[in-house]
Structure 1
């Protein structure tokens, strides 16, 4: 990403420099879309079936489409703030926090910075936990395959969380590891991989006629679900979907890779549309098929919650893809937030 952004490379030829004296950037709409997909299509996509189960078909689909429209609108507004004061010819804001300072001033800079880094800490912890759960799920998939689905296959997540943290520390020390086009491409490919594996396994259940009953209003209040629990789960589902759509903290780092012509905000708006459209299709695919397969008993994650046991190698492969994606997404999110 730094090559695209033109950082830290001494160049004497003015023809090779941008308007701010840095080397000309080489990123385009396609590379920006790849970065967006890398960040936004995370392992949370596999939890959207659970969210759909809480909301039902009508509200679930409507909320995903509504949040996608809100995301396009708000991120297009953020894209217009990349340069200050003019969105086409103004001075570039290289980071989200620089834009906050330029447009909103010092007090909001401090406030938004606190929120940003608090969220960053939560997200990176989430990546670590998700990776450890997927690593354990790989071990469980093999265990269940060898010993049977009712076997005792429980393992501690702690060694895997520690190992993931050590891995990220080591990767962060590699010089120029943060030139992220290739890393984003791999991470985006693996995100499609586990999304399609989860969707494909769910589709196989539905096609085989083993799918559970679903509802247009989601899980019903009854002996096993109180009204208070229903309300809590609905709001949790809304939060899951909203969080899955978020990439505001890295949008300027993505824009900082784009060529200066056409204007960065116009390129980013196209990338927003392409990336969020791809995101929404995957969300609806995973959420809808997972809910159709498991109904009200949809697990929190259709790959790590063992809604599927066989083929065990495919379940394990999906979790391998999750881990690879988390490694790349952690680097993108943490080092460019």
Structure 2
């Protein structure tokens, strides 16, 4: 695809009336809009409306802000599913899948980092825009809207469910009896209100403080989860077994899915890179890749230690359902002090609160994009606040109405997995246009096709697993 065609196709954020950036817009402007002439950040080629939107409003990020954004978005609560996955598939297969999955994630991030400025003067600061530019408007929207929006809004709803239930568990531990100081819905509401307040930061770059706290909290609870078993000398006096009890196809595929969904955050790589300044002499890809390497060293240490040490300590005693955090953190309540259990829960809650605004930001950005193109002016503080409260309220409503979504994480996450494992490969082929049957062409087509196959297998395996174990779908009864 030529640079001129790509420039025209990417110009979806034009302020012309016939070039609405709405996700559902079917029209493109005939000619590209002039770019902003304000290059004080060393960032050429900015589309004027981008200066009003939260993701690209500030281009003053640096290595440290990008690193903490990546850690906070990449080291999620799904890391706690890894010991359960190891309990289902055993040492060998678990280690292989975790290692291959991590290498796969790093490769697709490298692709995204280098696709961010695939055309000189144009920056793809939103994942969905890159999908549309790669596959065309109609196919791009068909393939991209649901998984990308699910990974934004859906992740926030999941954080409300997980975070709210963890608040409930914490209150139960602190009370010391069987009474519940607050109901689950009340805990959801408290978590949502706090998360909506923390989402009022104006743009992605201003979330650096939250990402810093969230990263520290994620490393803290991950470290506590794997160090406490090492401190307990009674682990191997409890006849721990590493024998895989259920070797059925659906159980193994479901466990592989739990490992796969732990590799999250690719949908935010372009948005995070969009906060960095860029110029021909110092492109953003250099700083971003350094941030990726540093952040993923931290993520790898936490993921591998949580998976292997917790499985070593508890073996087949870990529930293999991959359900709520309390499924195996309840082991700590039995074997450790109340203070240790409270520490894990508190750090986990703080992490969920800090990561919520980061995952909500793409939805906020799209909502503000719709507003700015309709009104031809930036959002005021009041409008921006109302939009974020509205989006947060929708997440709360989904969490209360569909609180069983965590048990569908593998099934729904298989669709979102395409964003991490598949789309970057085919987008590279589309935009970079490598020679057919060259090494890069063969590698990306093979890896992308394997990603599609894996996603289909996860959907089938998870559906069979749910059919076998059943699902208690209590609507509006969390």
User: Is 1:107 matched up with 2:138?
Assistant: yes
Query: Once the 2 structures are TM-superposed, how far is the Cα of residue 61 of structure 1 from its aligned partner?
Result: 1.3
Partner of 1:51: 85
Q: Which moved more, 1:181-190 or 1:243-252?
A: 243-252
| Post-superposition CA distance 1:93-132 (Å, at most 9, x none) | 1211121222221023212112211333332221111101
Work out which of the residue numbers 317, 323, 328 in structure 1 matches 2:349: 323
- The 1-side partners of 2:112 and 2:305 are apart by 28
Distance in structure 2 (CA, Å) of the matches to 1:175 and 1:275: 24
For 2:313, the equivalent position in structure 1 comes to 293
Task: Give the match for residue 467 of structure 2.
Answer: none
User: Aligned to 1:259, what secondary structure does the other structure show?
Assistant: coil
- The farther-off stretch of 302-311 and 190-199 is 302-311
- Aligned partner (choices 68, 82, 86) of residue 34 of structure 1: 68
Aligned alpha-carbon RMSD (Å): 2.8
Residue matched to 1:333: 359
The structure that has the greater radius of gyration is: 2
Partner of residue 304, structure 1: 326
In the other structure, the counterpart of 2:129 is 98
Deviates more, 1:201-210 or 1:94-103: 201-210
Measured in 2, the distance between the counterparts of 1:334 and 1:24 equals 17
Q: Where in structure 2 are there 5+ consecutive unaligned residues?
A: 1-35, 52-56, 364-478
Q: 2:201–2:207: 8 Å Cα contact kept in structure 1?
A: no
Shift in Å at residue 231 of structure 1? 3.0
Query: Partner of 1:162 in structure 2?
Result: 189
Q: Is residue 127 from structure 1 mapped to residue 143 from structure 2 by the alignment?
A: no
**Superposed CA offset, 1:15-49 (max 9, x none):** 55521367983433333221111011112212211
Higher RCO structure (Cα 8 Å, ≥6 apart): 1
1:155–1:286 CA distance, 2 compared to 1 (3 A) = farther
Scaled by the length of structure 1, the TM-score of the pair is 0.82
Is the aligned partner of 1:81 residue 2:115? yes
> Distance in 2 between the 1:179 and 1:327 partners?
16
Quickly say closer, same or farther: Cα 1:273–1:54, change in 2 above 3 A.
same
Q: Secondary structure at the match of 1:292?
A: helix
Indicate how the Cα distance of structure 1 residues 106 and 219 shifts in structure 2: closer, same or farther if over 3 A, else same. same
Distance in 1, Cα, partners of 2:290 & 2:201: 33
Give how far 1:233 is off.
2.8
